[in-house]
Amino acid sequence: MSSAHKILLVDDNPADANLTCEVLATSERPAQVSTVADGEQALQFLHRSGQFAEASRPDLIILDLNLPRKDGRAVLAEVKADPELNDLPVVIFTTSHAPRDIARCYELGANSYVSKPGNLGQFFSAVRSIENFWFGFASLPD
């Protein structure tokens, strides 16, 4: 296993993406975060095509739902239907608390679903918890 954990962060809101990256940077475990702002770029990254030919396979995907061009649900569905990618853990990280969205994501195979809190302190806590669980306790496929 390589030294730094690789995270693909898919979020179209630069302010949120920025916050998330800042929190991830505070972890004792070094992480290499790649951020893309829409669903199509996310899939290109994962397929290592186009501008992302040099991309490396992430260990974890943090995926927002409401994205331009291809929304998070479509990305999730494609990833989980692809035998090359379906073992990649996908954590949905979105503002939506709607039970309908939550249920739908699990149906599509999301590993985990975390709602973005409105409060700054809780937001930090949530991101920290995600990083802490998936890289501190869980075992991930190589």
Partner 1 sequence: MTMHSEVDILLVEDNPDDLELTLHALRREHLANNIFAVRDGEEAVEFLFCTGRFKDRSWEHPPRLVLLDLKLPKLTGLEVLKLVKNDPRTKAVPIVVLTASREERDLVASYNLGANSYIQKPVDFDQFREIVKSTGLYWIVINQHPLSNPLTRAATP
Partner 2 sequence: MKMPSTQNSLSQNRLHVLLIEDSPSDAEIEIAELRRAGFDVAADVVDTREQVRERLKKNPYDVILADYSLPNFRGMDALDIVRETNLTTPLILVTGALNSETAVECVKQGAMDYVLKDHLARLAISVRRALEDVRLRQERARTQEQLADKVEELARSNCDLEQFAYVASHDLQEPLRMVAAYTQLLSERYQGKLDSAADRYISYAVEGATRMQALLEDLLAFSRVGRNGVTPSPTDVNSAIDEVLKNLDLALKQHNVTVTCNPLPTILADRFQVVQLFQNLIGNALKFRAKRNPCITISAEQKGREWLFSVFDNGIGIGEEHKDLVFKIFQRLHTRTEYPGNGVGLAICKKIVEHNGGRIWVESELGHGSNFRFTFPAAVADKAGKTEDYELCTQDPISR
Indicate the residue among 1 and 15 with the shorter CB distance to partner 2.
15
The entry of partner 1, partner 2, none near residue 118 (CB within 5 to 8 angstroms by kind) is: partner 2
Q: Which residues contact 20 (CB under 8 A, 6 or more apart)?
A: 9, 11, 33, 62, 93, 127
Q: Which residues contact 41 (CB under 8 A, 6 or more apart)?
A: 52, 69
Question: What secondary structure letter does DSSP report for 25?
Answer: H
Asked if 67 touches partner 1 (CB under 8 A), the answer is: no
Cα angle value 74/66/142 (rounded, 5°): 55
Is the CA virtual torsion 39, 45, 47, 50 positive or negative?
A: positive
Q: Which stretch binds partner 1 (CB under 8 A): 9-17, 20-28, 51-59, 124-132?
A: 124-132
The entry of partner 2, partner 1, none near residue 98 (CB within 5 to 8 angstroms by kind) is: partner 1
DSSP string, 83-117: TTTTTS-EEEEES---HHHHHHHHHTT-SEEEEPP
Interaction site with partner 2 (CB under 8 A): 13, 15-16, 19, 95, 116, 118-120, 123
Task: Out of 98, 118, 119, 120, name the contact with partner 1 by CB under 8 A.
Answer: 98
Asked if 121 touches partner 1 (CB under 8 A), the answer is: no
Task: Out of 53, 99, 120, 121, name the contact with partner 1 by CB under 8 A.
Answer: 99
Residues between 68 and 97 that touch partner 1 (CB under 8 A):
86-87, 89, 97
Kindly report the backbone phi and psi dihedral angles of residue 94, in degrees, each rounded to the nearest multiple of 5, phi listed first: -145, 160
The entry of partner 2, partner 1, none near residue 54 (CB within 5 to 8 angstroms by kind) is: none
